[in-house]
Amino acid sequence: MLKILHTADIHLGTKFSGLGNKSNLQREQLRTTFKNVIATAINEGVNIVLIAGDLFDANQQPQRNIDLVIEQFHLLKEKNIPVCLVPGTHDSFDSSSIYRKVDFEGKCSNLKIFT
């Protein structure tokens, strides 16, 4: 049986400007949630992870979010779990795309970005 973990709309890097001094806490919650999704994929022994849009909230991201994604995808690679990712409306694959600026596929051989 094929086990698929499907997720979308994680929105790493969301500003949460309306939250004032709680915005940093909420951004950390997003990062923690993403790590929990990856841990669930590993713990459940899924065959593939599908990310269907908006992993990032915008194409401009702090390096720590880029590093987090690469680190988490490497954890999946260690368990031979491929990742299929489709850019969304917030991290679209245009001329300023984060997926053009950062060679995620080169850094994560288990990743395929569909454009």
- pLDDT, tens digit, 9 for 90 and up, residues 8-50: 999 999 999 899 889 999 999 999 999 999 999 999 999 999 9
pLDDT at 15: 94
Residues 81, 38 contacting (CB under 8 angstroms): no
Give residue limits of the domains in the chain: 4-113
pLDDT tens sequence across 64-107: 999 999 999 999 999 999 999 999 999 999 999 999 999 999 99
Residues 6+ apart with CB under 8 A from 43: none
Which superfamily, per CATH, for 4-113?
A: Metallo-dependent phosphatases (3.60.21.10)
The single residue of 6, 11, 74, 90 carrying the catalytic annotation is 90
The CB density around residue 10, as the number of other CB atoms within 10 Å, is: 21
Instruction: Based on the residue annotation, tell me whether 6 is a catalytic residue of this protein.
Output: no
Its pTM stands at 0.94
Cα 5 to Cα 14, 44, 47, 48: the distances in Å are 23, 9, 8, 6
